[in-house]
Structure 1
C-alpha cells in the first residue's frame, strides 16, 4: 500500500480539502443560498461533531487534568471601558495597504511575512530573519511610510496585478461596534468582543475569591470573538466570526518566564497527542511583541499554504489587571500569604499572566488537513486511489457504523439491536443502503474509525466483523466485546495518558 507524496505548499490540496469539507457535511459557506457572506462559515453535521470533540478535549485537558485551572463563560457584550483599558480602542489595528491597479486590499505585515517565508523556502534564513526584525521595528515605532518603502524595496508585488503601485499604509481598527439601548438618542456604543481574554481578567477576583484559588492558578474559557479583518481568506483560517479557547494563568511576578516555558512545551505536546506529526509543528518567536507582552511564541502548523499560527503562548505581564485596576478604580491585587525564601509573606501584588490561546476554527482546520489522506491501494490485480480522513479515533465525528450485510433474513433487526446497545455511549451510524464496499467508502470519507458488519454468522454465534479505517484490516469478535474495543480507542484517556 503506497501513500501519495504531497507537496508541502500546494493550494490545490487546500481546494481539495475545502471541497471535501462541503461535500461530506463538515463546513458550508454561510448563507450560501444568497451567494454567501465573505469569510463566514457554518459547521455541518460532521463538522460540529468534530469541533465539539476538539473543544471538549481542550476543556477537559485544562480543567480536569489541572486542579488549579477552572473555567468560566463570560458574556460577549462587555462594558466599553473594558476595551479602553485593554488598549483595543486605541491600538487594536492592522496596517492596511491597497494596490492602485488591482484595487485589492492587503495587510502590509502579511505581505512582508510572506516575502520572508519565500526567502526561508529558498534557504535565505538570515535574510528572512532580518526582514521580519525590520518590519517589527517599523510597526512598533508606527513608521508606516517606512513600511511602505520596505514593501517597495523588497519588490513585493500585488498577486493580482503584479505591480508595486501601492497606496500609503494606514491603520485599521478591527473591532465591530454596535449600539445598545432601546432609543437611538439614548443608545451608547458597545463592541463585539475581539478576544475572550478580557472576560477572564475582569472576573479575576470573582473566581479567585469564590473558588479560594491560590496563585498560581488559571482560568479557562471557550467563546466567540469577532474581528473586522481586512483580508479574511484561506477558508476558515481567518474569519470575522470565530471561536477562541484561552487560558489565563496567574503567577507571581518574577516567575512568569518559568511558567511561560512550561506552558509552551505542554501545549505543543498536546497537539502531538491528538495525532499531529511533530514535523508538521514548529515554534515561531514573535519579532514584534504586543503592547502587553514581554515574550510571545506561536505554535505553527504546516498547512497546505505554509506554516501558520494555530496557537499563541504569551507572557502578558501585569498589563491587563493593572489597566483594569486603574480605569475601574477597583483593586485587582492578590494577597499571597505564602512565605518567600527569607521567611516573609509575599504580601499584596498584581499577578503576572501567562496566556495560552488557540483558535478552535484553526485547530479544526489543522486537524482536517492533517487527517486528509490520499493513497494508492491494491485490490487483487487492480490499483486504485483511496481518500479517507485519518482522525484520532477520540476526535472522529462518528465512532462506529453498524452495517447489516443485507436488508433481509433478520440482519437489520440484529444490527439495530447492536446499534441500540452502543448508541448511548458512542456517536454511531446505522446504514443498510448500497453494497458493503460503498458503505465502507462513505465511512472512510467522514473518518469513522470502525465499521461493524452484521452477517448471517452473527445470527449463529453473536460475532461480528470489525473493519479498521486506517489499515482496512478486519477482525471477528463477539458482540459483547464491542463496547470495550471501541471505548479503548475513542476514550479521551488514550490522549490524557500521553500528557501525563
Structure 2
C-alpha cells in the first residue's frame, strides 16, 4: 500500500513495542512480556495490563523485583526503547526515501481506504461491514509459542461501519457475538475469559477494547480483539488524502463520518486454540490410552471415515465413500484391524466412522461410530446423507 496510508493511520509513529537487550547474552526481549511472565510465575495479581505502563514504570518494576534474563539468568539490561514493528523495504532498484514501502501490519487499513468504493458499488446502507482475511506482517521482537506469535500470520478482520452514538451498542453486540461463536464451536467456558482494557491502555485509535483470551498450555493469550475505533481511521485518511470518506444518510438527510467496530481475529491463533482445546489422552479400561481430538463436527478437517470390515467389501464401501464425498471431506481406510483404524480417525479428530460389514450386503445398513462417546448405531445406507446433515449443523 502507499506509504502515506501508514502515516495517516498512525502506524509509522505509534505502532511499537518496548524493547530491551540483555548485556550478558545479547538476547532481545519485550519488556512488558518479561514482566507479565514474572507476575504469572510468581502468582502476582495484576490490575489492568502492562501495555499501559511507560518505559520508566517498566524499568522501575524490573529493577525493584530484580527480574532476570529468561535466557542466561543474569540481571543486566539495557534501557528500554520503543521498537517499530513494521517491516520496511524498498520498491524498485533504488534504496532511497522516495522508494520506501512497508509490509502491512494489519488488513484493516486496506478496508478503510476502500470504504467509499465498496459502499457506492455495493449500494450498502449503514450499518454494514466489510470483512477480509489475508496475510499481515509484524517484526516481532520475540516470536514464539509455536504459531501463537509469528512475524507472518493470517488475519481475519471485520470493519463494521455504524452511525455515531450507536457505536457502543454495536460494540457490545459484536463482543457477545464473538464469544458465542467460539462457544458454539466447542470452546469451553473455563478456557476463555474476556478482558476489558483500562482507559490508560487503550490503543491510540480506540474508544473501547475487549480481548477474548484463551488458556493455552503456556498461559493466557489474546485470541480475538474487539475495538471501537470511532471515526479515527476514516478521518485520518480524509485529512491526508483530501478525499471525502463521509456518508450521506438519504432517510435522515444527514452527513457524517461513520464510526467503526472492529472484531480482529488471528486465524493461526484460533486454529492453535481449537487444537489445544480439542486434544485429549483418554485412559480407557485395561490401562489403554486413546489419543483423540474432540473437534466440533463443523471444524473437523475429515468429517467421515469409511471403513470396510474386509477388503472383500470394497465395492459397497466404495460407493458410500463416493456418494458422501460429494458433500463432505471423507477418508477411506481399509488397512489394519478395525480397532486400529478407529484410533487413527480419533487422532485426526474425525467425528464419525462408517463401518461397512458383511451384514451391510444383505440388510442395507452400516454401523456409524461416534468419536466422543464411541457409541455405535445402525443406519440405513439411503438415510446417511440426511443423518449427517443434522450432525453437522452449525
TM-score, normalised by the number of residues in structure 1: 0.75
Larger deviation: 253-262 or 392-401?
253-262
How many pairs align?
392
Shift of 1:156: 2.2
Shift of 1:442: 0.6
TM-score, normalised by the number of residues in structure 2: 0.95
Residue 372 of structure 1: aligned partner: 279
2: CA distance, partners of 1:201 / 1:187: 24
User: Would you say the 8 A contact 1:145–1:168 is kept in 2?
Assistant: no
Q: Choose the corresponding residue for 2:345, options 439, 443, 453.
A: 443
User: Would you say the 8 A contact 2:130–2:158 is kept in 1?
Assistant: yes
Shift of 1:437: 1.0
Q: Choose the corresponding residue for 2:380, options 475, 478, 483.
A: 478
Larger deviation: 154-163 or 274-283?
154-163
1:256-271 correspondence runs (5 A): 256-271=167-182
SS in 2 for 1:236: coil
Which deviations, in whole Å up to 9, do the C-alpha atoms of 1:54-95 show, x marking residues without a partner? xxxxxxxxxxxxxxxxxxxxxxxx111111111111111111
* Relative contact order higher in (CA < 8 Å, ≥ 6 apart): 1
1: CA distance, partners of 2:95 / 2:228: 41
Residue 310 of structure 2: aligned partner: 406
Residue 355 of structure 1: aligned partner: 262
2: CA distance, partners of 1:220 / 1:277: 26
In the alignment, is residue 233 of structure 1 matched against residue 156 of structure 2?
no
Which deviations, in whole Å up to 9, do the C-alpha atoms of 1:185-235 show, x marking residues without a partner? 897122111100001101110111112222221111111111111100000
Shift of 1:110: 1.2
In the alignment, is residue 334 of structure 1 matched against residue 247 of structure 2?
yes
2: CA distance, partners of 1:316 / 1:365: 27
1:284-303 correspondence runs (5 A): 284-287=195-198, 288-303=201-216
Query: Can you give the 5+ residue segments of structure 1 that lack an aligned partner in the other structure?
Result: 1-77, 340-344, 496-500
Q: Choose the corresponding residue for 1:319, options 227, 232, 237.
A: 232
User: Would you say the 8 A contact 1:181–1:187 is kept in 2?
Assistant: no
Q: Choose the corresponding residue for 1:94, options 4, 14, 17.
A: 17
In the alignment, is residue 110 of structure 1 matched against residue 33 of structure 2?
yes
Shift of 1:182: 5.9
Larger deviation: 319-328 or 163-172?
163-172
User: Would you say the 8 A contact 1:293–1:317 is kept in 2?
Assistant: yes
Residue 194 of structure 1: aligned partner: 105
Shift of 1:476: 1.2
Shift of 1:328: 0.5
In the alignment, is residue 79 of structure 1 matched against residue 2 of structure 2?
yes
Shift of 1:145: 3.8
Query: Can you give the 5+ residue segments of structure 2 that lack an aligned partner in the other structure?
Result: none
Shift of 1:416: 0.8
SS in 1 for 2:251: strand
Shift of 1:383: 2.7
Larger deviation: 454-463 or 444-453?
454-463
2: CA distance, partners of 1:420 / 1:175: 48
User: Would you say the 8 A contact 2:90–2:96 is kept in 1?
Assistant: no
1:181-260 correspondence runs (5 A): 181=92, 188-260=99-171
2: CA distance, partners of 1:176 / 1:137: 24
Shift of 1:397: 0.4
Q: Choose the corresponding residue for 1:388, options 272, 282, 292.
A: 292
